Structure 1
Amino acid sequence: MKNYFLLEVGVEELPSRFVESTLAQIKENLEKSLAENRVDFEGIETYATPRRLTFVINKISDNQADLEEEVKGPSKKIAVDADGNFTKPALGFMKSKGLSESDVYFKQAGKEEYLFGTLKEEGKATSEVLKEVVPEAIKGVTFPKAMRWGGKNMKFARPIRWMVALLNDETLPVDLEGIIASNVTKGHRFLGAKEIEVNSIEEYFEALKNNYVVLDQNVRKEIIKTQSEEVAKSLGGVVEIEDDLLEEITYLVEYPTAFYGEFDTDYVKLPKEVVTTPMKDHQRYFPVSKDGKLLPYFIAVRNGGDNRLDLVKAGNEKVLEARLADALFFYKEDIKKPLESFVENLKTVVFQAKLGTVYDKTIRIEKLVEDIVDSLDEKEILNDAMRAAKLCKADLVTNMVFEFTELQGVMGREYAKVCGENDAVAEAIFEHYLPRFAGDILPETKAGIALSIADKLDSIAGFFAIGIKPSGSQDPYALRRQALGILSILLDKKLDINLEKLVNDALDNYDNLEFNKAEVVAQIMDFFTERVKNLFKDLGIRYDVIDAVLSSNLNSISDIHTRAVELNNWLQKEELVEMLTAFNRVSTLAEKAESDKVDEALLKEDPEVKLNAGFKEIKAQVEGFLANKEYNKALDAFASIKPLVDNLFDNVMIMDKDEAVKANRLGLLKQIYDTMLTICDLSKIVYK
């Protein structure tokens, strides 16, 4: 393989969560720098293990492309004096561009002549360009946490220990703050050679393979998955593999070997999450189950071969045994008393200094749940929803959740069942945290839906009331995620609920705070509007359609989405441009109206008389269709007024000299415009 560049960045083991981002950033930095430096290439392949980041640039050119660029200077009247000599501005331009007087010329540009020159630069060898761009591409990576080492100025997630750089089988001595690239790589930390000399890309891949390094992360991931499935099958079960955990393990090992361990069958009697949470989140093990029930086995992945696997198995079993013994102890202690008994302890847990304790938050959630249930007209769920609201945070002060915070909500549900709460209450306690992250499941029970919305809206209202709101990339209290969670629930469950009213209700519960309520409500509604725009864009809705349907309010997210989808479809009509042009004229003039009152006695011209009469009929039709949420039909009905509007504009002077006549005509147009807004604002639609 010729005309390639191979770069390996050798590091101390990277945190698995940083690997994908680091690969992507360096690749992007290389692509951008090579393009800016006029170096052609076909593509960049990326590979990664915990100890190395590898980049292969394919079909890279031998040299930069030559540069030939025409540059423009001052106009001729500024560049030349009365005697025909170059002025200081002209000479300054030539000096800044490295041009002599013989290199410049005048050329017409628009109405004047300007001084021009052509810059020419012969392309450098690609090897020289790479020496410059590679260090910058690596140093340009950003991390949530980074470190310095060895007196270096650069920062990286972990110290960089070596680099390999081969350009067409030749070593390229790239200098990264004293780390000089060579043709020497390293094998697996324990199983491979300490130093391996490679003189070509083929040798590089072969050497790593022979030294217990599976370089390709996709191959490594598939090996882990396949081996784990085979091990689970041999145990009579199936392995439960979550994508996030699989990816994490992929970047923890260079040479994976899956094996199983066992634990006491008594632990299987515990709630499943009590066992699988320490197994997955703390030990990076895959659970094994059969017909949905947990088996007393786990599958782990070793960074190495199968040598003395019995000792590795025993060691992992011992570690998990300690974790599960703790979990069993905490569980037995917690269920000695009812879940409700933990509620009082929430008074000792601070939610936020200005917003009180978690107990205070629970009281607010109870009040807001009642308002939400009333808005949804679901009075039959009120008792369950209120009971769940009272208990929803109680598990935060249990032994189990104190040790395993990932189990909040899960243990609340389990403990509620143990102490005799009904299924609706128990499930709502779990569901009130949903959705916990992008793509997570949504609450399904009515009580869980009400509780989830109340919990999230209480947080948003409280933080906005004390002036804490997301800014740029900063969102320490995950308010964006919580807002998106509320919107996702409202949209998915097609809930017809007035969001602004709920925001007001939530703020009313903060009667101990001083704030401008109207101002905070406006800020929160603007915040939700931005989230709606992002959500709808992700759903494939045009940005101008989103603006059009958001012109009125956010009273019902589900209804707004329905309008957006139907408007999206309606805009496929062939006569769209003419239609929108007419309604844009209506909206432009309607803004000049001081009132929407129409005195029929002042309607003297035939076009305005016909428009007024036709509009009354059409308005009644539109209102009927809107009442039945038939927005496509409402748009068709409203659009049918176009010929009457065109007739008015073609034959009547709207801005009449008679102020009363002018105001009357503007009032009629305002009535039409206001009716349009009850569907959407067509003036927001962009057309060509």
Structure 2
Amino acid sequence: MTAKNLLVELFVEELPPKALKKLGEVFAQSLATSLKNSGLAAAGATVTAYASPRRLAAHVTAVAAVAADKPVVQKLMPVAVGLDAAGNATPALLKKLAALGADASAVPGLRRENDGKADVLFYESLAKGATLAEGLQKALEAALAALPIPKVMTYQLQDGWSSVNFVRPAHGLVALHGSDIVPLAVLGLTSGRETHGHRFEAAVDPVRFDNADEYAAKLATDGAVIASFAERRAEIARQLAVAAARAGGKPIDDDALLDEVTALVERPNVLIGEFEAEFLAVPQECLILTMKANQKYFPLLDAAGKLTNQFLVVSNISPADPSAVIGGNERVVRPRLADAKFFFDQDRKKSLESRVAGLAKVVYHNKLGTQGERVTRVAAIARRIADSLGGGALTQHSEQAAVLAKADLLTDMVGEFPELQGIMGRYYALHDGLAADVADAVEDHYKPRFAGDSLPRGMVGTVVALADKLETLVGMFGIGQIPTGDRDPFALRRHALGVIRMLAEGNLDLPIDKLLNSVFAQFNGIEGFQLNIDALADFVYDRLAGSLREQGYTAQEVDAVVSQRPQRLGDIPKRLAAVRAFSALPEAAALAAANKRVGNILKKVEGSVEANVEHALLKETAEVALHAALVDVVPLADAAFVTGDYTESLQALAALRAPVDAFFDGVMVNADDPALRANRLGLLAHLHAAMNRVADLSKLSA
């Protein structure tokens, strides 16, 4: 039978807007995958997902009415069990065949095959292909079960007795194969060819489809609905750009808001509203957030990125005279902006410093005390870091910023909009007359908040951000709150990456181990606090290794550098560049292999091996030559290392290839004479230390 295109639509009450895009994608893909797996849809069938506030739908091309029959091979039992000595079927075999719908007549056609242990009987049959009604019923049920529903609700069906569970009450089901209805039943609904369009602007109701292929076009003309999420989103973006240009501004760029608004409207119509200019005295972050979060408006910015007193509304209706819609939205937004202004005015009546004492009443963690206690620790850590970086005004401003950094948590504005923590702290710090770098640090100590976020804009902000993140890392590790594979409730991975970025990109002379021990010292006296510094350092270096691999460095290059646990992270790019340059040398592979061999030899020695060599005990020509080469090369490599020229330091080692190869070809390390053996091991220890200052070159060995 000729394949036809298939349409399935589930008509429901308004779906959760933040989940709609994902719901539409999963519904269509799950439905199509099930049809392909059952042989009803071709592997290359085109799947089109539709999702609007009141519907989930999928269009699948080339769907058959009946799937092709499939050959099935079923393993029965060993020949010795299924057939007697005369070759006749045993009762066990006959019973098994009967369960499969066959009888004794199938015995001669059974296939024999050895499975590696014994000869086994196999039954070959032809499974009848599923009909579209059967396959689509299962596919639809599977698609509904696969939906990532945020929260399920239970509702009664029209009979008043039965109830079903779904994300929202469902009111209609369309299932068309070409022009034919496919009989289905889910959620108390039976399939048909009718749906409903826009609540107010549909040209006809219900909207009737004659075939599967006219779905999107007819829903647009008769139902006044743009069914495709992607097309509706693109249309909103287009209208936003046009309206913004007409108003002389640009809409705020927010993909999440655009997705959410796309999930709220079926027929978008962008309108321009405005509010009183006096509200612009409030920090624009507050106004933007309240318009986006509470009203789903797109604030308009001027060419300099400054907020204007106009905003864009994405309406779901298109009246001939939009003034009533615009006026209604302007009336609704005004109290929101007035609240923001009130909070801002009230908050400025108290200084940030006066709020610090109140942090002693705010619980941070039941095992780590209050926010007040945490602020004390962060301030002490910041003071130590700043002292290490030069002290003076940096220490004074860093400590002051650390003390004030969390004070805005007690303001009305942050209480209403937690997303503004830090941002409002900066505004209030400037209002209090504090230095600009202190105010900036109050905001920036949360940075970087996410991958790709900017770093703190000044050294004071960097110091406080480091102190804040290190306090969190050490504190949470000390009470056993260590991230697992799928859980990281305190975002410790993000904090570790933030520390890494600030240390590396800022090229700060702050050794990791010294830094962690300094932070650990601030937790003395906390009951039950136990920290494994090495485990925390491993966690940081693991994040570092992952970050470097994401930047394009090879696993070998990263392992060679990170395995040495370099203390100064600002040196890592230079170390990696040196390793990459060394790897390109013709001597690299041989030296890496030799380094690995030396490391294995030294690991097998009981106790430590000192890198001491007595010249009088060098008997073989090759060991004399290797020692002489080390005497020549190591000072050059070390001098380059000290100046930070890691590439030159590794390049100098290339001269060791010939004497190293000759040594392993002509010298027995484990000599019978203990003195000779110890001296040769000391020579290898000297070689190993010289080769691994920049990176562990053995990691470059294949």
TM-score (norm 2): 0.86
**Residue 40 of structure 1 corresponds to which residue in structure 2?**
42
Is this contact kept in 2: 1:496–1:559, CA < 8 A?
Answer: no
Paired letter, 1:627? V
**Residue 649 of structure 1 corresponds to which residue in structure 2?**
664
From 137, 148, 154, give the equivalent of 1:131.
137
Is this contact kept in 2: 1:344–1:359, CA < 8 A?
Answer: yes
**Residue 390 of structure 1 corresponds to which residue in structure 2?**
403
Is this contact kept in 2: 1:542–1:568, CA < 8 A?
Answer: no
Cα deviation, residue 447, structure 1: 0.8
Cα deviation, residue 204, structure 1: 0.7
Write the mapping of 1:134-149 to structure 2, written as runs, cut at 5 A: 134-149=140-155
Comparing 28-37 with 483-492, greater Cα deviation is found at 28-37
CA separation of 1:346 and 1:253: change in aligned 2, threshold 3 A:
same
Alignment of 1:202 with 2:213, yes or no, is yes
**Residue 189 of structure 1 corresponds to which residue in structure 2?**
199
Please give the per-residue CA displacement for 1:279-328, whole angstroms capped at 9, x wherever unaligned: 12221111223243332211111112235522222221122111111121
Cα deviation, residue 86, structure 1: 9.7
Structure 1 Cα separation of the partners of residues 168 and 54 of structure 2: 10
Structure 2 Cα separation of the partners of residues 323 and 35 of structure 1: 51
Is this contact kept in 2: 1:592–1:666, CA < 8 A?
Answer: no
Structure 2 Cα separation of the partners of residues 508 and 393 of structure 1: 22
From 519, 540, 543, give the equivalent of 1:531.
543
**Residue 284 of structure 1 corresponds to which residue in structure 2?**
296
Alignment of 1:683 with 2:691, yes or no, is no
Structure 1 Cα separation of the partners of residues 659 and 76 of structure 2: 56
CA separation of 1:303 and 1:439: change in aligned 2, threshold 3 A:
farther
Structure 1 Cα separation of the partners of residues 359 and 184 of structure 2: 58
Comparing 75-84 with 432-441, greater Cα deviation is found at 75-84
Please give the per-residue CA displacement for 1:336-358, whole angstroms capped at 9, x wherever unaligned: 23221121222222112222222
**Residue 630 of structure 1 corresponds to which residue in structure 2?**
645
Paired letter, 1:617? D
Is this contact kept in 1: 2:229–2:262, CA < 8 A?
Answer: yes
Please give the per-residue CA displacement for 1:401-451, whole angstroms capped at 9, x wherever unaligned: 222222211111111111211211111111112222333332111111111
Structure 2 Cα separation of the partners of residues 45 and 646 of structure 1: 64
Please give the per-residue CA displacement for 1:147-184, whole angstroms capped at 9, x wherever unaligned: 44449998654444443333344333344454444433
Is this contact kept in 2: 1:596–1:666, CA < 8 A?
Answer: yes
Paired letter, 2:380? K
Structure 1 Cα separation of the partners of residues 23 and 593 of structure 2: 50
Q: Secondary structure at the match of 2:523?
A: coil
Q: Secondary structure at the match of 2:289?
A: helix
Structure 2 Cα separation of the partners of residues 315 and 677 of structure 1: 71
**Residue 359 of structure 2 corresponds to which residue in structure 1?**
346
Alignment of 1:559 with 2:559, yes or no, is no
Comparing 659-668 with 639-648, greater Cα deviation is found at 659-668
Paired letter, 1:432? H
Task: Select the structure of larger CA radius of gyration.
Answer: 2
**Residue 165 of structure 1 corresponds to which residue in structure 2?**
175
Structure 2 Cα separation of the partners of residues 537 and 491 of structure 1: 15
CA separation of 1:435 and 1:237: change in aligned 2, threshold 3 A:
same
Please give the per-residue CA displacement for 1:549-570, whole angstroms capped at 9, x wherever unaligned: 2212252333334433553565
**Residue 442 of structure 2 corresponds to which residue in structure 1?**
429
Paired letter, 1:10? F
Cα deviation, residue 81, structure 1: 9.8
Cα deviation, residue 396, structure 1: 1.2
CA separation of 1:625 and 1:273: change in aligned 2, threshold 3 A:
same
Q: Secondary structure at the match of 1:641?
A: helix
**Residue 510 of structure 1 corresponds to which residue in structure 2?**
523
Cα deviation, residue 30, structure 1: 4.7
Aligned length: 684
Comparing 427-436 with 218-227, greater Cα deviation is found at 218-227
Comparing 322-331 with 678-687, greater Cα deviation is found at 678-687
CA separation of 1:344 and 1:632: change in aligned 2, threshold 3 A:
same
Cα deviation, residue 135, structure 1: 1.7
Could you tell me which runs of 5 or more consecutive residues in structure 2 were left unpaired when the two chains were aligned.
none
Please give the per-residue CA displacement for 1:346-379, whole angstroms capped at 9, x wherever unaligned: 2222112222222222111111111222333464
Q: Secondary structure at the match of 1:509?
A: helix
Is this contact kept in 1: 2:578–2:650, CA < 8 A?
Answer: no
Could you tell me which runs of 5 or more consecutive residues in structure 1 were left unpaired when the two chains were aligned.
none
From 31, 40, 50, give the equivalent of 2:53.
50
Cα deviation, residue 685, structure 1: 4.1
Is this contact kept in 1: 2:596–2:701, CA < 8 A?
Answer: no
**Residue 582 of structure 1 corresponds to which residue in structure 2?**
594
Structure 2 Cα separation of the partners of residues 369 and 213 of structure 1: 57
Structure 1 Cα separation of the partners of residues 680 and 165 of structure 2: 68
Structure 1 Cα separation of the partners of residues 278 and 558 of structure 2: 55
CA separation of 1:660 and 1:352: change in aligned 2, threshold 3 A:
same
TM-score (norm 1): 0.88
Is this contact kept in 2: 1:71–1:118, CA < 8 A?
Answer: yes
From 522, 525, 532, give the equivalent of 1:520.
532
Cα deviation, residue 388, structure 1: 1.2
Structure 1 Cα separation of the partners of residues 453 and 467 of structure 2: 18
Structure 1 Cα separation of the partners of residues 542 and 169 of structure 2: 40
Write the mapping of 1:435-446 to structure 2, written as runs, cut at 5 A: 435-446=448-459
Cα deviation, residue 23, structure 1: 3.8
**Residue 344 of structure 2 corresponds to which residue in structure 1?**
331
Structure 2 Cα separation of the partners of residues 71 and 285 of structure 1: 61
Is this contact kept in 1: 2:76–2:123, CA < 8 A?
Answer: no
Write the mapping of 1:459-538 to structure 2, written as runs, cut at 5 A: 459-515=472-528, 517=530, 519-538=531-550
**Residue 274 of structure 2 corresponds to which residue in structure 1?**
262
From 332, 354, 365, give the equivalent of 1:319.
332
CA separation of 1:366 and 1:297: change in aligned 2, threshold 3 A:
same
Cα deviation, residue 37, structure 1: 4.4
Structure 2 Cα separation of the partners of residues 144 and 501 of structure 1: 46
Structure 1 Cα separation of the partners of residues 8 and 424 of structure 2: 49
Q: Secondary structure at the match of 1:299?
A: strand
Structure 1 Cα separation of the partners of residues 79 and 595 of structure 2: 49
From 680, 684, 690, give the equivalent of 1:665.
680
Structure 1 Cα separation of the partners of residues 68 and 690 of structure 2: 61
CA separation of 1:168 and 1:506: change in aligned 2, threshold 3 A:
farther
Alignment root-mean-square deviation, CA: 3.6
Comparing 189-198 with 31-40, greater Cα deviation is found at 31-40
**Residue 558 of structure 2 corresponds to which residue in structure 1?**
546
**Residue 633 of structure 2 corresponds to which residue in structure 1?**
618
From 447, 454, 459, give the equivalent of 2:460.
447
CA separation of 1:657 and 1:287: change in aligned 2, threshold 3 A:
same
Is this contact kept in 1: 2:178–2:213, CA < 8 A?
Answer: no
**Residue 605 of structure 2 corresponds to which residue in structure 1?**
593
Q: Secondary structure at the match of 1:19?
A: helix
CA separation of 1:668 and 1:477: change in aligned 2, threshold 3 A:
same
Structure 2 Cα separation of the partners of residues 570 and 89 of structure 1: 70
Structure 2 Cα separation of the partners of residues 610 and 88 of structure 1: 84
Is this contact kept in 2: 1:590–1:667, CA < 8 A?
Answer: no
Cα deviation, residue 47, structure 1: 3.1
Structure 1 Cα separation of the partners of residues 577 and 4 of structure 2: 50
Is this contact kept in 2: 1:551–1:677, CA < 8 A?
Answer: no
Cα deviation, residue 682, structure 1: 3.4
CA separation of 1:574 and 1:613: change in aligned 2, threshold 3 A:
closer
**Residue 104 of structure 1 corresponds to which residue in structure 2?**
111
Structure 1 Cα separation of the partners of residues 261 and 84 of structure 2: 74
Please give the per-residue CA displacement for 1:595-650, whole angstroms capped at 9, x wherever unaligned: 33344344322222222332343333332333333333333333443333322333
CA separation of 1:309 and 1:67: change in aligned 2, threshold 3 A:
same
Structure 2 Cα separation of the partners of residues 52 and 354 of structure 1: 48
